[in-house]
Amino acid sequence: MTMNFNLFMNDVVRQARDEISAAGYTQLKTPEEVEQAFAQKGTTLVMINSVCGCAGGIARPAAAHALHYDKRPDHLVTVFAGQDKEATEKARSFFTGYPPSSPSFALLKDGEICTMLERHDIEGHEPMAVIQKLQNAFDKYCEEL
């Protein structure tokens, strides 16, 4: 039974990774990759991915569809909570003033946290509402393409 569950979870994790990568996000799997990505100039949207239902049903679709907009971040990255633990911990160290939350989105500018959509901003909301929240942040902090 445990082996079947592990195979199932590996499949769920792979699907979640593939989905966010297909949307254009770069996966950060090590603390060093996080540091390098967050050191980039400009705006960086970080999607803290997870295997929960609200990640698959709301957050990842919103992460993909929010990008169809006049303003969007310069860089798109993701860390996977519960999978790439050290990378996620390193990313969260940049989110000063926000408790750990997954799924969630952080918007950074020149490596500094600008705003965050936490799990409570995602769970129980329609994907369109989350897309609107992301695009409102893009309006405030990102340049027009």
Active site residue 52: yes
Q: Can you give the pTM of this predicted structure?
A: 0.93
| 76-124 residue pLDDT tens | 999 999 999 999 999 999 999 999 999 999 999 999 999 999 999 999 9
Q: Could you tell me where the beta strands, DSSP code E, fall in the chain?
A: 26-27, 43-49, 75-80, 104-109, 112-117
Active site residue 142: no
Domain extents for the chain?
2-141
Asked whether 25 and 65 are in contact (CB, 8 A), the reply is no
- Helix 85-92 to helix 31-38 angle, to the nearest 10 degrees? 30
- What is the CATH number that goes with domain 2-141? 3.40.30.10
For residue 128, what are its two tokens? 């369109």
| 42-64 residue pLDDT tens | 999 999 999 888 899 999 999 99
From 13, 51, 54, 129, active-site residue: 54
Nearest to 60 by CA among 16, 28, 91, 100: 16
